[in-house]
A and B are shown apart, each in its own frame.
Chain A
């Protein structure tokens, strides 16, 4: 680099000194610069690893207002800013983060990391990360979703109601390939997948699922899995709730029973119907634009846009209503409908400037239809009050209310 060239940071500092950064000053292009707009990294660093525009400010926020980091310095649940999302890939740095107990993001040297396959196998094996990368790879797009991803009356944005789901392109080795290398013994029925972080989070996963489509991933969105997402190895269990997606994967033990680990503990229920609703995610969708907290600038054309997904397979159809459910129209898919992946849908819409109610519902390839809160309350024979809380994972329809002034509100609980 030519050190004599004026660098951008120096220029901006000069501009700030000249008073340009004071208050909401308009830039030459007429746009308002973001506050504190001086880039944190030098040009050389930015050329080596690019930043987004300083005018793009969407960030993750703590879920449920629970501080992250918390009082113990643990990273806790943070949500993806879905309102600003486009397409189906969540930038890795905006992928939601969830942790059963909260966690200290481990600083793992991939050269030191190992994955052990053992238990009810003929040939226990230990792999290095480099060995795993030598094996035939698979790349697939899959969503992850925390079971805590449920809309509440207090929620004021789609990030708060639905932000604990994100979608990535994952690259790795099929877990079934590794299990076949090890030779699963007869009588095995479950695996215990365990991480290398401080708490060594472990989940019991049905062997049938492990042999079906689980991936031991080292890649996410074209680069190594990020540390907050499990670097250097993450087990992706497509369509299952988030807790099964074991980060920092270091051990897979093949066993003959449900192990009731600490992670499994939250799934231990008396009612088998509830238990069934805590593993595979049901068909689900949400409109991300217009959504609560956003503002329509006036009557006219808008493209209603949203995300649909299902743990049961690909999204077959998404229907959208703009009149509170009296009529439903088929939405257009803007992306391929991959299995167990976010699918971007849209519907052309001319807003007449009157108050209206927007909803979407997802139908997956199994023919399962995303239910309303009323339908779920009826299934459990409970009254539909604002407090009604669907048991297991909540995949109910989200209602957004558009007021005549163009403001958009969470309408589920009104």
Chain B
């Protein structure tokens, strides 16, 4: 271990952290490719995990009613029991309510306006909606509903513009500018140097 430690600094200088890697206990089994594919529902900003499928805002408008979204979020995407999804056109883009965030940190606002990547919307609709039937939407339906919210919030200009695995990650979201991931975390350091 001592020798290893002496060998580590050059690697760490390159920003590479090394972990001991050999299996010791040999418990658990190897998941099948199908298990990994089916469970892997988190979508990164690159969109590389997005499944095949496509949908337009026009199709999304129908689904918004058919899948029951309107029942909770309101026929216009506002005024329902569930959080606001659509900012009224022409009105100032005041940040809307964000699900579950009303007493946490300052809500960054309505997702379709403030999410830095449209993949976040896709991920959430796919995993979290509709309430009580989560995970039942087909990929094309999620693309269509995402397109619908983007169109209604003036992020995309055409209700016929199809969203798919290629186009969705490329949407220039109005909330993108300046958003940063958390700073690197290090054991045994204060959360923010200079904070009182």
Chain A residues within CB distance 8 Å of chain B? 63-64, 66, 71-72, 76-77, 99-102, 104, 116-118, 122-128, 131, 134-135, 146-148, 176-177, 179-184, 186, 192, 194, 198-200, 202, 204, 206-209, 211-213, 250-251, 253, 255, 257-262, 265-270, 272-282, 311-313, 366, 368-369, 371-372, 375-376, 378-379, 389, 391-393
On whether A101 and B185 interact (CB within 8 A), knowing A199-B134, A266-B105, the answer reads no
Is B44 located at the chain interface by the 8 A CB criterion? Answer: yes
Number of A-B residue pairs having CB atoms within 8 Å of each other in the complex: 226
A282 in contact with B31 (CB, 8 Å): no
Q: Pick the most buried of B45, B82, B106: most chain A CB atoms within 10 A of its CB.
A: B106
B182 in contact with A276 (CB, 8 Å): yes
Q: Which chain B residues (67-116) contact chain A, with CB distance < 8 Å? A: 72, 81-82, 98-108, 111, 115-116
Among B24, B101, B123, B196, the residue within 8 A (CB) of A261 is B123
Docked Cα-Cα span, A231 to B23, in Å, equals 27
Is B34 located at the chain interface by the 8 A CB criterion? Answer: no
Chain B residues within CB distance 8 Å of chain A? 16-31, 35-36, 39-46, 72, 81-82, 98-108, 111, 115-117, 119-120, 123-124, 127-128, 131-132, 134-135, 175, 177-192, 194-196
State the Cβ distance, A218 to closest chain B Cβ, in Å.
14
A118 in contact with B99 (CB, 8 Å): no
Docked Cα-Cα span, A259 to B115, in Å, equals 13
On whether A268 and B185 interact (CB within 8 A), knowing A184-B19, A312-B191, the answer reads no
Among B20, B124, B182, the residue within 8 A (CB) of A258 is B182
B108 in contact with A211 (CB, 8 Å): no
25 contacts between A and B (CB under 8 A): A72-B82, A76-B100, A100-B100, A116-B35, A116-B39, A122-B21, A183-B21, A198-B128, A202-B127, A208-B17, A209-B187, A255-B44, A258-B182, A261-B123, A262-B127, A268-B175, A269-B108, A272-B183, A273-B195, A276-B182, A282-B191, A282-B195, A312-B188, A376-B196, A379-B196
B120 in contact with A261 (CB, 8 Å): yes
Docked Cα-Cα span, A407 to B186, in Å, equals 44
B189 in contact with A366 (CB, 8 Å): yes
Top 5 A-B residue pairs of the complex, sorted by shortest distance between their CB atoms: A258-B181, A371-B196, A125-B28, A375-B196, A101-B100
